[in-house]
Amino acid sequence: MNSKIPKDLIERAYQGKSTKEDALLLLEVPPFELFKFADELRFLAVGDTVTYVVNRNINFTNRCVGTCGFCAFRTNNGKVLSIEEIMEKVREAEKANATEVCIQGGLLPDVGLDFYQGIVEAIKAEFPEMHIHSFSPMEVYHAAHISGIPISEALRRLKRSGLDTMPGTAAEILSDRVREIICPLKIKTGEWIEVVRQAHAAGIPTTATMMYGHVETPEERIDHMLIIRDIQKETGGITEFVPLPFMPYNNSVGEKMIKEGKYATPGLEDLKIYAISRVLFHGHVDNIQASWVKLGKKFAQFALHCGVNDLGGTLMEESISKSAGASHGEMITAEELEWMIHGAGRVPKERTTLYRGTNGLASGNSLRMSGCGVYE
């Protein structure tokens, strides 16, 4: 490679040993050179297959006691879906051939773990094969606190009830400096890490996300990714990494940004994030996902040449990004996702939540986890 990227940096990336300094240097190289490098690492990790999952999002309430400044979804008096209302949505998902339901909601002031267990148990009773990918680390932390039980016990109960995996949302930026500004009442960095580690110990894999483009620095973004990588080295329980650009509309953090002349991240910056994440996670987390809801379909397609190998789900509904100004839709068909993937010169493949039936297991660490032998 005739490259402005130093050879020793390239070698460390191939070995899965990229450093913070490497990532900062890569931000300064010509963008399309970075994208080419990330694309080569993507091919080494997963080949030319691009995956997606047929799923349904279910947001069971927008009522929330939280005060997150980036959220346009919460309200003080929103509706809470009953378990039967949730089940109606699950039935619709099953009829649409969904293999996964992703259920999340606001933090309710007086609802403990029993409610969450009830949701999971109702789904498994009627649809035992449906994969339940639900409840953020913040929701689990909050429900455990309301119920007066340790996090580890809450996770064990959810696992016994039938929870399969958890979305690694509520991560935002894993920096207490940032969290104090944008979500001061949310769990701190160390608490988020502990919930995720405990989930993996209980045999519950998670994804990992990063919401970027607000008050964080480039260094804090990289630190966030390295924290995720360290968790993966320890537990092997992370299935995918999902960078999520902040939507600065209809929320207080975004309003302040716009008054200061700052807006949503430029597209080139988004693509650099995907490329850098591919470099930092090489050999550790194989799957880098682009959100077509956040980026738009055409830009998500272009991200497939910048290190991305997964386009997420069909969703059927999506309320949180929409409330913050996303305008790219709430549903996409499997046929359209495959059309997008073919158009990018890649091979589409429907996957399960755990990336089975595609390129083997989801991570370079083969999802080795302490606790339950859930992958055997």
Nearest to 228 by CA among 220, 217, 56: 220
Contact 367, 237 (CB under 8 A): yes
CA distances from 325 to 132, 301, 310, 331 (A): 28, 21, 23, 16
**Count helices and strands in the chain by DSSP H and E runs:** 16, 8
- Residue 136, annotated ligand binder? yes
Which amino acid does the sequence have at 227?
I
- Residue 70, annotated ligand binder? yes
How is the chain split among helix, strand and coil, in percent rounded to 5? Answer: 45, 15, 40
- Residue 370, annotated ligand binder? no
- Residue 102, annotated ligand binder? no
Token pair in block for residue 253? 């953090």
The DSSP secondary-structure symbol of 188 reads P
Nearest to 221 by CA among 248, 194, 244: 244
Contact 119, 80 (CB under 8 A): no
- Residue 71, annotated ligand binder? yes
- Residue 260, annotated ligand binder? no
- Residue 152, annotated ligand binder? no
- Please list, in sequence order, all residues whose beta carbon lies within 8 angstroms of the beta carbon of residue 342, skipping any fewer than 6 positions away: 348
Q: At what angle do helices 137-147 and 113-126 cross, to 10 degrees?
A: 120
Q: List binding-site positions for [4Fe-4S] cluster.
A: 64, 68, 71
Q: List binding-site positions.
A: 64, 68, 70-71, 136, 172, 291
Q: List binding-site positions for (3R)-3-methyl-D-ornithine.
A: 136, 291
Q: List binding-site positions for S-adenosyl-L-methionine.
A: 70, 172
